[in-house]
């Protein structure tokens, strides 16, 4: 893979890290407000609060992971595999919540963003394969 292409992938992973940091700031550090915005109801149950905040804590971990990948995109492919699966899974879950009338249209910001990043990650793996770079 050429240096220019590696630089582009670094930028993609920096943006992905920032995308996750922004989500984590809202979801983890302002849990009740974010839940209200996504689902249109109050988050009063302490168990649900902990579970929902923990899900956003995972998003904070993704920020750390994508930051590592941005540092060396050719080395940390396993993080991208796990992160990509997480992005697609989270987007599908939010879409199911929306289609079941459990979530409002604001979730499309996350759905569309995560699917876009998943497509970039897929392209990243295609380029790794085409340039015969080791994966994992």
> Is the pLDDT reported for residue 135 higher than 90?
no
* Percent of the residues in the chain that have a pLDDT greater than 70, as a whole number: 100
Residue 13 lies in a domain: yes
Q: CA triplet 8, 117, 33: central angle to 5 degrees?
A: 125
Tell whether 136 is covered by a domain. Answer: no
Q: What is the DSSP letter of 40?
A: S
Q: What is the largest CA-CA distance in the chain?
A: 52
Q: How confident is the model at residue 83 (pLDDT cuts 50, 70, 90)?
A: very high
Give the range of the structural domain holding residue 71, as residue numbers without chain letter.
Answer: 3-130
For 28, 56, 58, 98, the CA distances from 61, given in Å and listed in that order, are 11, 9, 5, 25
**Total number of domains in the chain:** 1
| Helix, strand or coil, per DSSP, at residue 42 | coil
**72 or 134: which carries more pLDDT confidence?**
72
In a domain, 103, yes or no: yes
Residue 135 lies in a domain: no
Helices (H), the chain: 3-29, 31-39, 46-71, 77-99, 107-130
């Amino acid at each position: 893979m050429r240096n220019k292409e590696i630089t582009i992938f670094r930028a993609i992973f920096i943006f992905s890290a920032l995308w996750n940091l922004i989500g984590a700031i809202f979801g983890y550090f302002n849990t009740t407000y974010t839940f209200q915005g996504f689902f249109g109801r109050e988050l009063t149950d302490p168990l649900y609060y902990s579970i929902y905040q923990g899900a956003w804590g995972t998003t904070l971990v993704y920020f750390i992971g994508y930051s590592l990948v941005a540092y060396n995109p050719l080395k940390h492919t396993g993080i991208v595999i796990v992160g990509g699966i997480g992005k697609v899974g989270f987007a599908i879950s939010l879409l199911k919540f929306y289609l079941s009338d459990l979530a409002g249209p604001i979730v499309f910001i996350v759905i569309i963003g995560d699917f876009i990043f998943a497509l970039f990650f897929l392209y990243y793996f295609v380029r790794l394969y085409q340039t015969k770079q080791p994966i994992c």
